[in-house]
C-alpha cells in the first residue's frame, strides 16, 4: 500500500449505515431482546427490560401527542441524569418532536436565550439539582405560570413556551407532572403514534444541542436520527459491543457523550444502560461497576483521574470491565496507561469529535498497538472523511499540524435559526471546520495538538500546550496539569502551568522548571506555575482555559505593553 502524502483520510467500511429512525431501532431491539435489561438507574432504583422500556416510551410519546404537540415542534429537557431523561429522549423521537437538551448548569439568562432561540413549546424539568432550583428559575422567567392552567402558559418573556412538565410527585401551579402525561393518551393518540412510525424520516431533525461556546451566545447544533443513531452504532462497533454488555454512563445525558455514545449505542445493540448517579460521583461509579458487573465505562479524563484517585479505589472489584471510551478532552497518556492497568480496561478506546459531528470522527480500536491507543485518538470512523488544512485552506502534508475538517453523514444540519454561523462552520463543499489543530500520520492515526485559539505563540515560536502537559504528567508528584498562554510584553505570550498535585505531595515552581530543563526546549518551559486544587470546567468535564487565563492574568497583574 502506498503511504499517503497528504493529510486526508476516509472511513471506507463494509458495514452499512443504519437507514432507520431512533424509534424504529428501539422497536427492533425490543422485539429481538425483550427480556434484556435496558435501563438501570441506581439512584432511583429503576430497572427496566427492553420490553418494559418500549412500553414506557410509547406511553409517554402518545401522551405528548395528546398535549397537542406536533412533529417538528421543540420540547426541552432540563434535568440531571435519570430514567425520565432516557424515556423522554426516545419518546420525543417516536413522536417526531425535536428534543432540546438544556445544560443542567444553565441559569436564567441562558435558559431564556435557549428556549426562545429554538421556540420551545414544551419543557420537561427536574425540580432542582445541586445549587440549581429549576422550578424557581422557570417561575422567575414566567411568573404567569402560577395563574395558568397546565398546558396554557402565556408568558411575556417566554412567548413560545406553553407546556411545563415537572419531574417528581409534588404539585406545582401551572405544571403537569411527568407521570400524568401517559395517562392523557387514548386510542386515537396511540393509533397516531403507530402511523407516525411509518412516516417519520431518518433525515428529520430530532435533537438540538447547544455548544458550550466560550464567547458569545451558545449555538444550537441541529442533529438528525441518521446523524446520532449511526454515530452511536459505530461507536459500539469500535467497542465490539453485544447485547451482553452493560454500559456504565456517568457522563451527562444532555451531552452527546451520554445520549448518543451511551443511550443510542446501547439500544442499537441491545446492551444495558447503567446510570450510577444524577451527576458524576467517582464513588458511585465504582459501586455501580462492581454491583452491576459493568463491562463498559465512559468518562472524560478528569472522571477517570477522580476514580483512580479515590481513597477506596483498590477495594472495588472491577474485573468485569473490558472496554470503554475516554473522550471530551485530550487524554493524558499516563492516565490512559493507568486505566488499562488498574481498571482492567484492556480494550479501552479514545474517541475524538464534537457536538456538530454527532460527535465522533476518530476512535482507537482494540487491535491498535497500545502506544497508538495512548498517544493518538485513533483512526477515522466509518463513513466519515477528514482532512487537515493549513492557514490558507490547502491540505497539509502528512504529519504537519493544521485545522481538522470533517465531512460525512455525521455533520449536523446546521445551527438552528442561525444561517450566518452555519455558513462560517460548514463550507460550500460540506466540510465542518472544527477549530482543532491536528496531525494525521502516514498510517492514518490522528493526534489532536490543541485548539487553534489555545496555541501559544512565544517569541515567534508556535507552542502547543498539549505537548507540555503530556511531558509534565511524567512528574511523579503531578496528578493533573493544564497549560495556558498569558500575555508577556517581551515575548507576546508566556506559558503558565496549572498543576494539581497528588494527595500528600508538595512542590514549588523551581522544582517543576528544573524537571523540564534539558528535556524540552527552553521556550516550552512554563515561566509561571500555579498549584491548584482543581480547574474551572463545564458540566461535561471540559476544562475552561479561558477562565484559567482570566484568573492568572488577574492574579499576576499581567498587562500587554501597547505600542503607539
- Average pLDDT of the chain, as a whole number: 93
Range scoring the smallest mean pLDDT among 137-146, 224-233, 480-489:
480-489
State residue 564's pLDDT score. Answer: 29
Mean pLDDT of 39-45: 98
Q: Is the pLDDT of residue 190 over 90?
A: yes
Mean pLDDT of 65-88: 98
State residue 96's pLDDT score. Answer: 98
The most confident of 1-15, 427-441, 458-472, 550-564, by mean pLDDT:
427-441
Retrieve residue 288's grid coordinates: 455501580
State residue 214's pLDDT score. Answer: 43
State residue 560's pLDDT score. Answer: 53
Mean pLDDT of 288-304: 95
- Our CA dihedral for 328, 333, 337, 340, rounded to 10 degrees, sits at 30
Counting residues of the chain whose pLDDT is more than 70, the rounded percentage is 97
pLDDT band at 216 (very low <50, low <70, confident <90, very high): low
- Residue 326 near residue 297, CB atoms below 8 Å: no
pLDDT in tens, 14-39: 999 999 999 999 999 999 999 999 99
The boundaries of every CATH 3.30.300.30 domain in the chain are: 455-556
pLDDT band at 523 (very low <50, low <70, confident <90, very high): confident
Mean pLDDT of 87-101: 98
State residue 65's pLDDT score. Answer: 98
pLDDT band at 369 (very low <50, low <70, confident <90, very high): confident
pLDDT in tens, 477-517: 999 999 999 998 888 889 999 999 999 999 999 999 999 99
Name the pairing type of β-strands 461-463 and 456-458: antiparallel
State residue 561's pLDDT score. Answer: 45
State residue 174's pLDDT score. Answer: 98
State residue 563's pLDDT score. Answer: 33
Q: How does DSSP assign 415-430, residue by residue?
A: ETT-HHHHHHHB-TTS
State residue 2's pLDDT score. Answer: 61
- Residue 94: C-alpha distances to residues 55, 181, 237 (Å): 12, 15, 25
Q: Is residue 355 helix, strand or coil?
A: helix
Mean pLDDT of 285-314: 95
Retrieve residue 356's grid coordinates: 456538530
Give the separation between CA 381 and CA 352, rounded to whole angstroms: 10
pLDDT in tens, 308-363: 999 999 999 999 999 999 987 777 788 888 999 999 999 999 999 999 999 999 99
The boundaries of every CATH 3.40.50.12780 domain in the chain are: 8-13+277-451
Counting residues of the chain whose pLDDT is more than 90, the rounded percentage is 82
- φ and ψ at 299, to 5 degrees? 165, 160
Q: Is the pLDDT of residue 105 over 50?
A: yes
Range scoring the smallest mean pLDDT among 58-62, 218-222, 228-232:
218-222
CA triplet 539, 105, 42: central angle to 5 degrees?
65
CATH of domain 8-13+277-451: 3.40.50.12780
* CATH superfamily for domain 455-556: ANL, C-terminal domain (3.30.300.30)
Query: By C-alpha distance, which of 542, 554, 535, 546 is closest to 481?
Result: 535
Mean pLDDT of 356-382: 92
pLDDT band at 212 (very low <50, low <70, confident <90, very high): low
Retrieve residue 381's grid coordinates: 470512523
- Residue 540 near residue 252, CB atoms below 8 Å: yes
- Residue 371: C-alpha distances to residues 377, 445, 468, 472, 520 (Å): 11, 11, 18, 18, 21
State residue 215's pLDDT score. Answer: 45
Retrieve residue 384's grid coordinates: 466519515
Yes or no: is domain 22-210 CATH 3.40.50.980? yes
The boundaries of every CATH 3.40.50.980 domain in the chain are: 22-210
Mean pLDDT of 399-410: 96
Amino acid at each position: 500500500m502506498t503511504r499517503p502524502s497528504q493529510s486526508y483520510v476516509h472511513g471506507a467500511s463494509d458495514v452499512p449505515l443504519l437507514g432507520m429512525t431512533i424509534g424504529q431501532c428501539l422497536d427492533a431491539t425490543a422485539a429481538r431482546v425483550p427480556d434484556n435489561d435496558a435501563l438501570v438507574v441506581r439512584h432511583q432504583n429503576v430497572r427496566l427490560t427492553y420490553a418494559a422500556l418500549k412500553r414506557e416510551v410509547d406511553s409517554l410519546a402518545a401522551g405528548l401527542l395528546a398535549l397537542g404537540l406536533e412533529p417538528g415542534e421543540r420540547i426541552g429537557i432540563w434535568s440531571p441524569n435519570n430514567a425520565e431523561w432516557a424515556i423522554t429522549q426516545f419518546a420525543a423521537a417516536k413522536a417526531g418532536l425535536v428534543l432540546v437538551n438544556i445544560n443542567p448548569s444553565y441559569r436564567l439568562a441562558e435558559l431564556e436565550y435557549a428556549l426562545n432561540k429554538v421556540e420551545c413549546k414544551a419543557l420537561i424539568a427536574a425540580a432542582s439539582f445541586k445549587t440549581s432550583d429549576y422550578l424557581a428559575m422557570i417561575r422567575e422567567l414566567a411568573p404567569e405560570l402560577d395563574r395558568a392552567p397546565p398546558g396554557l402558559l402565556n408568558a411575556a418573556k417566554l412567548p413560545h413556551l406553553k407546556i411545563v412538565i415537572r419531574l417528581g410527585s409534588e404539585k406545582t401551579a401551572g405544571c403537569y407532572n411527568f407521570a400524568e402525561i401517559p395517562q392523557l393518551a387514548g386510542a386515537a393518540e396511540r393509533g397516531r403514534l403507530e402511523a407516525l412510525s411509518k412516516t417519520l424520516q431518518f433525515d428529520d431533525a430530532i435533537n438540538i444541542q447547544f455548544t458550550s461556546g466560550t464567547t458569545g451566545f451558545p449555538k444550537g447544533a441541529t442533529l438528525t436520527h441518521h446523524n446520532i443513531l449511526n454515530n452511536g452504532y459505530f461507536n459500539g462497533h469500535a467497542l465490539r459491543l453485544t447485547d451482553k454488555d452493560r454500559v456504565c454512563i456517568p457522563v451527562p445525558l444532555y451531552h452527546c457523550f451520554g445520549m448518543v455514545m451511551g443511550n443510542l449505542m446501547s439500544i442499537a445493540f441491545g446492551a444495558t444502560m447503567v446510570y450510577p448517579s444524577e451527576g458524576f460521583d467517582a464513588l458511585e461509579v465504582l459501586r455501580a461497576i462492581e454491583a452491576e458487573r459493568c463491562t463498559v465505562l465512559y468518562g472524560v479524563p478528569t472522571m477517570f483521574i477522580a476514580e483512580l484517585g479515590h481513597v477506596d479505589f483498590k477495594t472495588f472489584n472491577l474485573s468485569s470491565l473490558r472496554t470503554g471510551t475516554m473522550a471530551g478532552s485530550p487524554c493524558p497518556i499516563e492516565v490512559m496507561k493507568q486505566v488499562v492497568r488498574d481498571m482492567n480496561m484492556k480494550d479501552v478506546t479514545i474517541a475524538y469529535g464534537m457536538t456538530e459531528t454527532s460527535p465522533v470522527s476518530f476512535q482507537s480500536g482494540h487491535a491498535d498497538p497500545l502506544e497508538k491507543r495512548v498517544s493518538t485518538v485513533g483512526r477515522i470512523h466509518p463513513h466519515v472523511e477528514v482532512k487537515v488544512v493549513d492557514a490558507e485552506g490547502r491540505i497539509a502534508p502528512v504529519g504537519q499540524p493544521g485545522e481538522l475538517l470533517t465531512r460525512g453523514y455525521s455533520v449536523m444540519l446546521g445551527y438552528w435559526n442561525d444561517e450566518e454561523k452555519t455558513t462560517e462552520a460548514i463550507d460550500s463543499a460540506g466540510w465542518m471546520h472544527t477549530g482543532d489543530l491536528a496531525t494525521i500520520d502516514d498510517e492514518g492515526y490522528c493526534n489532536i495538538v490543541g485548539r487553534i485559539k489555545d496555541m501559544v505563540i512565544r517569541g515567534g515560536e508556535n507552542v502547543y500546550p498539549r505537548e507540555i502537559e503530556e511531558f509534565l504528567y511524567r512528574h511523579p508528584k503531578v496528578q493533573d496539569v493544564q497549560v495556558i498562554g498569558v500575555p508577556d510584553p517581551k515575548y507576546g505570550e508566556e506559558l503558565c502551568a496549572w498543576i494539581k498535585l497528588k494527595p500528600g505531595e508538595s512542590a514549588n515552581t523551581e522544582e517543576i522548571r528544573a524537571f523540564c530543563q534539558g528535556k524540552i526546549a527552553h521556550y516550552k518551559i512554563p515561566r509561571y506555575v500555579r498549584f491548584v486544587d482543581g480547574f474551572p470546567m463545564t458540566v461535561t468535564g471540559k476544562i475552561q482555559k479561558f477562565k484559567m487565563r482570566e484568573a492568572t492574568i488577574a492574579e499576576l497583574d499581567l498587562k500587554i505593553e501597547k505600542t503607539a
